[in-house]
Amino acid sequence: MRRDFTSVAGAVLRRNLIHAFTNPALLIPSAVFPLLFFVAFAGGLSNVANVPGFDFPSGYTAFQFVFVFLQSAAFGGVFTGFAAAADFESGFGRRLLLASPRRRGIIAGYVLAAIARWCFTATIVSVAAAIAGMHVDGSLTQLVALVSLALLVNMTATMWGVGMALRFQTLQAGPAMQIPVFLILFMAPVYVPLDLIGGWVHDAASYNPLTALVESGRGFISGVPDVVGLAYLAGFGLVALGLVWALTGLRRAERGV
Amino acid sequence: MSTNHRGIVVEGLVRTFKGDIHAVAGIDLEVAAGEIYGFLGPNGAGKSTTVHMLTTLLPPTAGRATVAGFDIATQGADVRRHIGAALQEAALDNFLTGREHMDLQAGLSGMGKADRRRRGTELLERVGLIEAAERKVGGYSGGMKRRLDLAMALVHSPTILFLDEPTTGLDPQSRSALWDEVQRLATEDGVTVFLTTQYLEEADVLADRVGIIDRGLIVAEGTPDELKRDIGGDTVEAIPADPHDLERAADVLAQFGERAAHSPKGVAVRLSRGAEQLAEIVRALDDASIALAHLQLHSPSLDDVFLAKTGRSLEGAGEEGEAAAEEPVPA
Amino acid sequence: MTSVLDQVGLVARRSVRRTLRQPALIVPTIVFPLFLLAVNSSGLSAATNIPGFPADSYLDFAITVCFIQGAMFAAITAGTELATDVQSGFLNRLQLTPLRRLAILVGQMAGAATLALIGAVTYLAVGVISGVDVKSGVGGAVVLIVYALFTAVAFSGIGAALGARTGSPEAVQGAFPLMFALFFLSSMSLPRELISVDWFRTVATWNPASYLIEGMRSLVITGWDGTALWRGVAVGVGVLVLSFWAASRALATRMART
């Protein structure tokens, strides 16, 4: 039984990786987009660090890097959702459902593919940050913890995207996949810490589960861990929600086969 | 090459693509004005490439052709004024209504507002789309889209109509309706029709003359009856009751004639002496203790013609192309 | 034979109809930029405390970004529609008529311009209701809308060039992040003189998009600033000429007929 699950997941993973890494038109935007955000925010807005009350020990580059790192994980998941939607639109997804003895392996395959693709993007963004002279004050363990937070975001976004793909089975669901993720990302403390945000956005950000992940990530990179428990609680909670969404999507798709 | 010829004349037409692909490897043909010419061949034979060249959408690599008396390479604008085309994709805009499509096409062809409306209504009625005219094309069925495609091709009353696989994917009813309209256009309006198809029946029923194309070359040309007569007499097809007897049945039948096109479960040969050989065949199969599920005598089909000329069945040749495009199923 | 003007009219009518019949195009064009404006003006309200910041409210400073995003949506729309026509074979159909290349190009922009106009009017209305003070007055607001339309048409040329070249709606949409990037690496978020990272400030200074934005922005936060305006218009004209040339060349290849 387990062999079937692994082989299905492996088949989906292999196909997605081949497809992604042999199609520059797919790979490049997912790598370039976060890089551009990083350059724009860390470079263009660096003066924001001089705002009274802004006190981040490792500097604005590191401050922005964390957001962009998590954002790249989120969008990596969404792009994999696009790939899943394309698979279903072309009819390949249906073939997968028919041929796979353990269909949950399909979801696992997409999740693994998203992680693999994100590793590529994350490497590029990290190298760029290093070149930009980013200060890293966190320990190796803390940096690994930052990566683990990003992985939770990536898995959530992938399962969100795949759940949508299974339900709608068309690339036209792309905007519907992308927009909520975008909204959640931008209702987190993007430019300044939470306590420096004004207006209704402050309230929204306070309730946004991603805020804890971002703030905790920033804590890890600066060597001053913050809201770690809340961050992992939020992270695993999001993954659980994503899993339910994807599994219920699978059930819907199965009914149509 | 006479430029008074109002039909289609093609001499040595060639089209090659990058990678030394000879999509059309040198074809000659002539279509008289008012004739329905069927261009029959499997997927990838060069039918659509030929149509694209004759409709001036693709320049030929070599050779010459005139359409309605105008050279396709040097008098493109004149050619386009005299032709209508419904190409392989029913190229329509899902957000516009049928009426809006007709209006756009008529307007671009140079008609004034009043004429556009009148002509649009006339053609929409003719193809049976007047009731759906105000609906967006995104909601049309495949058959309706094809009919609109045809109506748009006829807006400026062309003398020559190019139809590239017009009934692919249509249900039998829609197909039949389209055939009726094509026949009416040729017989009543005198429109010359150049029709490409991979369906034997379509060529057989519609075309005055058929050209069979395979791998960029015309392998046979003539009226459907001429082509069938040329390759010989009737064929007999036998389907053994036990599938394991297929090979032995083939061996028995081989003594009576050459291999012919057959269904997957059967075997067929073309008879040298026709129906009188039937009794001998039955006796021979009986002597070999081969029980039959089915035995049929039929006159040659265009598929038999294709097989005789190319060594392959037309239907099988089409499937080869499709099989190559299949996605591998994960283990 | 129809005149070029009639042909443009026919193609334009189709383009506008298509656009207005797709709420999925119109809604994001309106909602997205306004959402980002709301988030950014709250999230970056503290930026007004930076010494030398040229406006009292970040909302006033940032509203111009909406018009730029509207222009980008218009560009993508123009490109996607042309690419779809190539992919579906509709362009082949048009090629068989006497339709001239110029008519397709200009007519196709009509849909994108319509989208940009709807966006621009909405952004301005929402902005004014939220308290944006347009220093150049009602006249300046009208100029702002015209300027936004002009920018949208200029960028639609880029979209059309991509659409004709690739014949793929997905490829056009894939270029969207790159267009986004062009505007990010500019004085979009902070005035050039307040960008503290040297190389970024250099890039922003060389980036023509900075002048487009600054021209537009000056109408809101400064009043009538002739220098900012003519620089912005000059860049816009440059983009328009280059993009239309590129689109024309790409379309010529696509529409090769004998």
The ranges assigned to domains in chain B are 8-92+140-228, 233-299
Q: What is the ipTM of this complex?
A: 0.87
The answer to whether residue B31 scores a pLDDT higher than 50 is yes
C-chain residues near B104 (CB < 8 A) = 10, 14
Number of A/C CB contacts below 8 angstroms equals: 108
pLDDT of residue B53: 96
- Smallest Cβ–Cβ distance between B110 and the set C1, C92, C258 belongs to C1
**Among C2, C11, C93, C255, which would you mutate to test the B interface (most chain B Cβ atoms within 10 Å of its Cβ)?**
C93
A28 CA: distance to closest CA in chain C (Å):
9
Q: Summarize the confidence of residues B294-318 as an average pLDDT.
A: 79
The pLDDT confidence band at residue B323, using thresholds 50, 70 and 90, is very low
pLDDT of residue A95: 84
CB atoms within 10 A of CB C92: 21
Number of A/B CB contacts below 8 angstroms equals: 14
DSSP B242: S
- Smallest Cβ–Cβ distance between C257 and the set B57, B91, B108 belongs to B57
Task: Please state the domain count of chain C.
Answer: 1
pLDDT of residue C154: 93
Residue whose token pair is 């347009």: C134
pTM of this structure: 0.80
Which chains share 3+ C-beta pairs under 8 angstroms with B?
A: A, C
Tell me which range, B324-328, C21-25, C56-60, is most confidently predicted by mean pLDDT.
C56-60
CA separation for the pair C83, C165 (Å, rounded): 8
pLDDT of residue B299: 80
Angle between helices A104-131 and A2-21 (to 10 degrees): 40
**Among C48, C80, C189, which would you mutate to test the A interface (most chain A Cβ atoms within 10 Å of its Cβ)?**
C189
pLDDT of residue B2: 47
pLDDT of residue B325: 35
CA separation for the pair C123, C34 (Å, rounded): 7
Residue A55's contacts (CB-CB under 8 Å, 6 or more residues apart) are: none
Backbone φ and ψ for A238, nearest 5 degrees, come out as -65, -40
CA separation for the pair B300, C155 (Å, rounded): 62
Q: Which residues pair with A201 in a beta bridge?
A: none
Residue whose token pair is 């683990």: A148
- Smallest Cβ–Cβ distance between C2 and the set B91, B100, B110 belongs to B110
Residue of C nearest to B54 (CA): C258
Scanning chain A, the segments in alpha helix (DSSP H) are 2-21, 24-38, 60-90, 92-99, 104-131, 140-168, 174-186, 199-207, 209-221, 228-256
- Domain span at C121: 4-193+202-254
- Smallest Cβ–Cβ distance between C36 and the set A37, A186, A199 belongs to A186
C13 CA: distance to closest CA in chain B (Å):
9
Contact B330 A92 (CB under 8 A): no
- Domain span at A108: 2-256
Task: Please state the domain count of chain A.
Answer: 1
Q: Summarize the confidence of residues C218-237 as an average pLDDT.
A: 95
3-state SS class at B196: strand
pLDDT of residue B320: 47
pLDDT of residue C175: 78
**What CATH architecture does domain B233-299 belong to?**
2-Layer Sandwich (3.30)
Point out the least confidently predicted range of A196-210, B129-143, B261-275, C83-97.
B261-275
Helix H or strand E segment including B23:
strand B21-31
C110 CA: distance to closest CA in chain B (Å):
16
- Smallest Cβ–Cβ distance between C90 and the set B88, B91, B100 belongs to B91
The tens digit of pLDDT for each residue in C25-44 reads 888 889 989 988 988 888 88
Contact B108 C95 (CB under 8 A): no
pLDDT of residue B273: 79
Q: Summarize the confidence of residues B44-56 as an average pLDDT.
A: 94
The tens digit of pLDDT for each residue in C109-134 reads 899 999 999 999 999 999 999 999 99
Whether B27 contacts chain C with CB within 8 A: no
Tokens matching residue C122: 């909405």
Q: Which residues pair with B193 in a beta bridge?
A: B36, B161
Closest CA to B251 of B220, B212, B225, B288: B288
Contact C92 B95 (CB under 8 A): no
Per CATH, is B8-92+140-228 categorized as 3.40.50.300? Answer: yes
Averaged over successive runs of 10 residues, the pLDDT of chain A (257 residues) comes to 80 89 77 85 84 88 95 93 88 84 91 95 94 93 97 98 93 84 91 86 93 97 94 97 96 83
B-chain residues near C97 (CB < 8 A) = 80, 105, 108-109
pLDDT of residue B324: 37
Contact B152 C89 (CB under 8 A): no
The answer to whether residue C249 scores a pLDDT higher than 90 is yes
C-chain residues near A52 (CB < 8 A) = 46, 49
The answer to whether residue B192 scores a pLDDT higher than 50 is yes
Chain C residues contacting B via beta carbons under 8 Å: 1-2, 6-7, 10, 14, 17-18, 21-22, 85, 88-99, 256-258
Contact B330 A100 (CB under 8 A): yes
Tokens matching residue C178: 């790159």
Closest CA to B178 of B223, B147, B151: B147
The answer to whether residue B303 scores a pLDDT higher than 50 is yes
A-chain residues near C186 (CB < 8 A) = 44
Residue of B nearest to A14 (CA): B330
Looking at B190-323, which runs of residues are DSSP E strands? Answer: 192-197, 209-214, 217-222, 235-240, 257-259, 267-271, 292-298
The answer to whether residue B135 scores a pLDDT higher than 70 is yes
Q: Summarize the confidence of residues C67-74 as an average pLDDT.
A: 91
pLDDT of residue A54: 87
A-chain residues near B327 (CB < 8 A) = 92, 95
Tokens matching residue B315: 């239907």
The tens digit of pLDDT for each residue in B57-102 reads 999 999 999 999 999 999 999 999 999 999 988 799 999 999 999 9
The answer to whether residue C6 scores a pLDDT higher than 70 is yes
Q: Summarize the confidence of residues B180-205 as an average pLDDT.
A: 93
**Among A5, A6, A95, which would you mutate to test the B interface (most chain B Cβ atoms within 10 Å of its Cβ)?**
A95
For chain B, what is the mean pLDDT?
89
Q: Summarize the confidence of residues B122-126 as an average pLDDT.
A: 95
C16 CA: distance to closest CA in chain B (Å):
11
The pLDDT confidence band at residue B321, using thresholds 50, 70 and 90, is very low
Contact A198 C49 (CB under 8 A): no
A-chain residues near C36 (CB < 8 A) = 186
